[in-house]
Amino acid sequence: MPSLICLTITAKTLTEAQRIADVNAPFVDLIELRADHLQKSEYASIKDFPKNVKTPCILTVRRKIDGGVFEGSETERLDLLSNLSAFAYVDLESDLTAPELEALAHKSGVMIIRSAHYFEPQEAKIVKTLDTISKNANEIPKLAFLPKDLTTVAETFVLSNELKAKDRIICVMGKLGGVSRILADRLGSYLTFTSPKELLENTSAIGHFDPKKLIDVYDFKNINSDTALCGVTGFPLNVTSSPEVHRNFYKAENHNAVMLPIPAENIEEALTFAETLKFKGLAVTIPHKEALLNYLDEADEAVKTIGAANTVVFKEGRRIGYNTDWIGFTKALKHFLKTDSVQGKCVAILGSGGAAKAIAYALHKEKANATIFARNIAKAKAIADKYGFSSAPLSEFTSDCRPDIIVQCTSVGLQGQSTTENDPIPQYEFTGKEALYDIIYKPETTPVMARAAKSGCRVENGFSMLIEQAREQNRLFFT
């Protein structure tokens, strides 16, 4: 049976909890009422909650030691849990000895979820303890733990195949564990926990998604043993639209596939993770595009020339690197400018990172004239010299330079607020004749874009580049 989607509700009132349950009913199979978050005035009505929603419910009253917020005595907590008879499930901790509650659950036909939580980083071998959590064969054992690293997450998938418990719940918590929520079925997990958008901050530390995103972006209900796995990796990877963009390609091309977010501090760990889970490929973003070159078995001509890769395909035990950024940029820029050629155009490239390298390569192929402006003048010069371009410090970029096109490739502006600190070229005065293409796409309008538009310039963010480079990645993954 495919893994179920459980909505964890951490509302303060039962009225709010019911509203959230009703709104999310089309997307979930179970509701977990986290009664430890309720106001005390709501306690007397807990038993009525399951009757008022259309979805089977889990009753949980979590102690602080287990990641909850209940502040009363243990006697008071057990008293709240005694409302379990109206619920389909009750969550009891592995160290809780409560024979009266267990007897009541058995008499009422309520399934016990026996849970163990570990909030200090653990190695993957902790998964083997899952078979020892239940007090009897009728309970569903649940293990929730914080992984030591990404390798731990990969090993968890391998070790889960050795578990005896048929019905079990495995939750790898935190940002690194997000993939375990999406691939719950691959872990043999009975369910995966989610949270409603308006309450995500209550569970952000343990890595919940909202259920609609789980279905719409990750196609959770259709993930099976035949689903092809792809991923996007970077760090901290707080912002990425790649899973959603690639999902649209999968739907259009009828691929049984999913793109997973894989935050990794180093690219080697991400590659090992992907190979362990048998990924088809990875989209690679900041800060790993240049480091990736050291771990490839093969690379295309663009990667060798640019010195950065944003795509790796796993094929017959080999890692093959590609750069699709330059292709995506070329198509996006021409569409933005409504032209078939930028030959001879004067272009200012701001920045000297992996994206700037790909864009310089693209502009060279298009026979444009470019200058690389960057804080690191040595890196800017290295890129410029490769293509016969000019280079200069970013501080020297002024309206006297008179570019036709400005391509903003720095990370300045990601924060979104319109301040001097979030504008990479505060000294530049727009004339209204320039076209500004900012490769940042979240926020949709960066401070420098807003300032340029106010001066009458044509502006566009990098979402179009993301779409086009992802289209090429998708082709590489599935050919």
Catalytically active residues are: 289
SS (H, E, C) 427-442: CCCCCCCCEEEECCCC
Find the angle CA(203)-CA(175)-CA(188) to the nearest 5 degrees: 85
Residue 32, strand partner residues: 8, 58
Task: For the beta carbon of residue 417, count every other beta carbon within 10 angstroms.
Answer: 10
* Token duo for residue 352: 């000297």
CA dihedral 118, 124, 125, 131 (to 10 degrees): 70
The token duo for 189 is: 């997990």
For the record, the structure tokens of 191 come out as 């369910």
CB 33 within 8 A of CB 58: yes
Residue 196 near residue 20 (C-beta atoms within 8 A): yes
Q: Hey, how many other C-beta atoms are within 10 angstroms of the C-beta on 341?
A: 11
What's the CA gap between 161 and 264, in Å, rounded? 24
